[in-house]
Structure 1
């Protein structure tokens, strides 16, 4: 299963561990988990907390059970995060392939132009007037996460494979 919600990347990977620790070991509702994320981090809103909860699931650091959400006992090791990011976050692998195939560094807009065919058709219909803006931002977040995880490098506002 691929997850498409990607939060704005934090300043460092320590925040991932902090966010994971905010998710309870005893299963809780989405509302409870989001409240804990808001209480224990500097996330600005419930929507941001929900996005982080989904992203933690993509990284294998939280899971949804029939009884609610719970954190896993996985450590947010950078190598684990890199693999799970590529495997479970929608578009991550495609963005990294675009960078790997490029002969020079690319701007986020250039990466989006090469990525746009990967955007599911239903997303075009869901947000006909704003899908490009939404997905352009999502691609930029994917790129920034790739940099944070050491999978790409940012050079003068452009990106290249690490």
Structure 2
């Protein structure tokens, strides 16, 4: 399953703090979101929920019928990079675009190369779907950089 959520990019230490806030014993979503808010500088529940889902996409958190719980997976940059590419929607398309471009891509150029991957139902879901997906792609670029998959240069992002 690929997760569509892509919250604003943060550091690996932020992910570690957010992950550590999630209990090993399953708990409900609301309690886990409050735990993320208490352990980090995330102030609103909706953003905390996005990070909870993103942690799940990275295999740092799992969900059972009793709620969310922290996995015993190590916070390893290379493992996170693999999970990011495989489990976050549009991440592999973005990384492929960076591989194929032969040089840095600006955020706008990256969006143009990935826009066809946005499903029709997503385009119809938002009045300004391009703005929503440009923001999401900017977040993905930031995470690609955090996981060592891309580097930001003066001319845009390039693949590492």
**TM-score under structure 2 normalisation?**
0.97
Deviations 1:101-120 (A, max 9, x none): 00221111110011100001
**How large is the Cα RMSD of the aligned pairs?**
0.9
Which ranges in structure 2 are unaligned for 5 or more consecutive residues? none
Alpha-carbon distance in 2 for matches of 1:22, 1:65: 17
Aligned positions, number: 160
Contact kept, 8 Å, 2:150 with 2:159, in 1: the verdict is yes
**Alignment gaps of 5+ in structure 1:** none
| Among candidates 136, 152, 155, match of residue 154 of structure 1 | 152
SS in 2 for 1:7: coil
Match runs of 1:12-51 below 5 Å: 12-51=11-50
1:5 aligns with 2:5: yes
Structure 2 equivalent of residue 61 of structure 1: 60
- Tell me the CA shift for residue 52 of structure 1: 0.4
The CA deviation at 1:157 is: 5.4
Query: Equivalent residue of 2:52, what SS?
Result: helix
CA distance in 1, matches of 2:147, 2:83: 11
Paired position in structure 2 for 1:119: 118
SS at match of 2:121: helix
Question: What TM-score do the two structures reach when normalised by structure 1?
Answer: 0.96
Deviation at 1:26, TM superposition (A): 1.2
